[in-house]
């Protein structure tokens, strides 16, 4: 959206932010279409999230610094499945420290980046989680496994989350308190799980993962997040790649397709 281009007298907006390291569907409104964005902001969304068990960070994701390391060898599929129902339905959720939620007129991430505590704790919000399913779990230390991580994600997304600053190198060791988790995110010997989440607007999946980690007597941090659907628009059927935004014919075709999908819903 911010890519430099010829100035246009055109209103542009989006129907709900994604975390910096997240991927997937982001509904963009152009012109009169901006009036429909509130429905997407508040509407249903579907996510798939990978999480590391046994470690927590200050941002609740792999970009943050480790705040706590816990033994997760006991965590198996039954343990996680037993914990999930308490996070389904209308639940109270506190925004993570690094988030766009406001306290006393400032974003929480502004306080966090300045090393300051907000003057008051952010208030928990009532949000709706339609379902959480455990897709897979691998815990080599405890000898536990469940499901399969056979990926339904687009190859470029899977490749992004496996490479770059996340690429695992043998001999790197284990993260300690104060280390940035990202370089240790893909250690194949550490416990991790994949969750499928369907929810309404305002849900922080990072917070869900963090709270689930605490509820299973360990810790958990979100490693990856992909939004598979927003409202009736799906990643595998209705999305246009960011690189295609440079081509007006592809943008026009995507707009016509999205209008047809929304009209048929």
Question: Residue 31 region, left (φ>0) first, then alpha (ψ -120 to 50), else beta?
Answer: left
Which one from 19, 50, 61, 187 is the annotated catalytic residue?
A: 19
Cα angle 202, 54, 94 (rounded to 5 degrees) comes to 25
**Residue 238 to residues 60, 129, 185: CA-CA distances in angstroms?**
30, 24, 30
Residue 180 is given by DSSP the state B
Residue 139's nearest CA partner among 252, 24, 54 is 54
**Residue 169 to residues 69, 174, 186, 187: CA-CA distances in angstroms?**
20, 12, 9, 8
Q: Count of alpha carbons within 13 Å of 217, Cβ hemisphere only? A: 8
At 262, give phi and psi (nearest 5°).
-70, -40
- The answer to whether residue 19 is catalytic is yes
- Residue 193 CB burial class (10 angstroms; 0-12, 13-18, ≥19): buried
Those residues whose C-beta lies under 8 Å from the C-beta of residue 9, and which sit 6 or more positions away, are none
CB distance 96 to 60 below 8 Å: yes
Which amino acids are annotated catalytic? Answer: 19
């Amino acid at each position: 959206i911010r890519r430099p281009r010829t100035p246009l007298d055109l209103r542009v907006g989006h129907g709900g932010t994604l975390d910096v390291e997240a991927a997937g569907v982001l509904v963009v409104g152009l012109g009169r279409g901006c009036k429909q964005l509130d429905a997407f902001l508040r509407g249903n969304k579907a996510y798939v999230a990978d999480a590391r068990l046994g470690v927590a960070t200050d941002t609740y994701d792999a970009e943050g610094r480790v705040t706590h390391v816990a033994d997760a060898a006991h965590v198996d599929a039954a343990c996680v499945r037993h914990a999930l129902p308490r996070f389904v339905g209308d639940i109270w959720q506190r925004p993570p420290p690094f988030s766009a939620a406001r306290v006393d007129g400032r974003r929480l991430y502004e306080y966090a980046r300045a090393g300051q505590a907000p003057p008051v704790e952010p208030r928990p919000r009532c949000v709706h989680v339609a379902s959480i399913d455990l897709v897979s779990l691998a815990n080599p230390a405890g000898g536990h496994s469940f499901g399969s991580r056979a990926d339904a994600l687009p190859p470029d997304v899977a490749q992004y989350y496996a490479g770059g600053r996340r690429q695992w190198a043998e001999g790197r060791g284990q993260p300690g308190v104060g280390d940035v988790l990202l370089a240790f995110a893909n250690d194949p010997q550490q416990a991790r799980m994949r969750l499928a989440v369907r929810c309404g607007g305002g849900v922080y999946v990072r917070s869900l993962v963090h709270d689930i980690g605490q509820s299973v007597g360990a810790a958990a941090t979100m490693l990856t997040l992909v939004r598979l659907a927003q409202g009736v628009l799906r990643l595998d059927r209705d999305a246009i790649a960011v690189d295609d935004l440079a081509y007006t014919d592809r943008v026009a075709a995507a707009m016509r397709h999205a209008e047809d999908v929304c009209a048929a819903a």
